[in-house]
Amino acid sequence: MESYDVGSFISDTSKFGVKGVKKVVKVFVIFFVINIIAIIVALCYKILMPALYVFLIAVLFTSLALYITYKSVFKLSVAHFYQYASPLFKKVSDSLVEKCMDVPVSELQTKNQAISKAVDVGKIVTETYGKKVPKAGKKAIAYMVNRIPIVPIITELKDETGNFENREEVKDLAYLKIDAYIKKEILGTKPAMVYIVLLINIVIQIVVIFYFVQS
């Protein structure tokens, strides 16, 4: 597991933050330009009502695109933090497993959220690195912990191992599964929805303008 170096993390986080801001600004500029063109076209045809519709559509889709971009940047920032905090998250994983081991499988099924909330992320972070971890790092850990299906993972491990006699082995196996789940399901890359939103935005603007011009 990689070690957590606060200095490197803060330095890289500053660079990452700048990239994130640039990404948000880029999306805003693209949508602004596209929609300004649509509004100008509508006004050139002297169709005031369509221009109003075009403006409302512009506001709606630009806001949606910025929201999607913000969520994307946040997810990337969580992934950025995770690459530095593997040892820390191993302790979080161990704590989750410990809280599951003595609970009967029949009772586990209804306790996934309760178990996740029972883990004191802030305390584990402080015990591991003192108060050096930024608040954003703690938020990233909490974001991941709340999305881990710890009960299915523990149930699967119980079926595979037959028992929890060797607790350290179970913890290591659980961490591997949790780590794989986080990287694939929580931090895995997905198609950029913002481009789909842009395409829909353009199509709707064209349809609205064409409809009123032909009327």
Task: Flag whether 55 is in a domain.
Answer: yes
Task: Flag whether 111 is in a domain.
Answer: yes
| Total of domains in the chain | 2
Which pLDDT value is given to residue 32? 94
Q: Tell me, yes or no, whether 135 and 204 share the same domain.
A: no
Q: Tell me, yes or no, whether 95 and 111 share the same domain.
A: yes
Q: Tell me, yes or no, whether 160 and 177 share the same domain.
A: yes
Convert the pLDDT of each residue in 85-143 to its tens digit: 777 778 777 877 777 776 665 565 555 556 655 566 666 666 665 566 666 666 777 77
Task: Flag whether 36 is in a domain.
Answer: yes
Q: Tell me, yes or no, whether 208 and 139 share the same domain.
A: no
Task: Flag whether 142 is in a domain.
Answer: yes
Helix ranges (DSSP H) in 102-192: 105-108, 112-118, 121-129, 135-145, 150-161, 167-181
Q: Tell me, yes or no, whether 104 and 151 share the same domain.
A: yes
Buried b (16+ CB within 10 A) or exposed e, 200-214: ebbebbeebbeebee
Distance CA 70, CA 20 (A): 8
Looking at per-residue pLDDT, the higher value among 128 and 3 belongs to 128
Query: In which band, very low, low, confident or very high, does the pLDDT at 56 lie, cut at 50, 70 and 90?
Result: very high
Task: Flag whether 155 is in a domain.
Answer: yes
To the nearest 10 degrees (0 to 180), the angle between helices 48-82 and 135-145 is: 90
Domain that holds residue 56: 6-81+192-214
Q: Tell me, yes or no, whether 68 and 133 share the same domain.
A: no
Task: Flag whether 1 is in a domain.
Answer: no
Distance CA 46, CA 200 (A): 24
Task: Flag whether 112 is in a domain.
Answer: yes
pTM beyond cutoff 0.75: no
Which pLDDT value is given to residue 126? 65
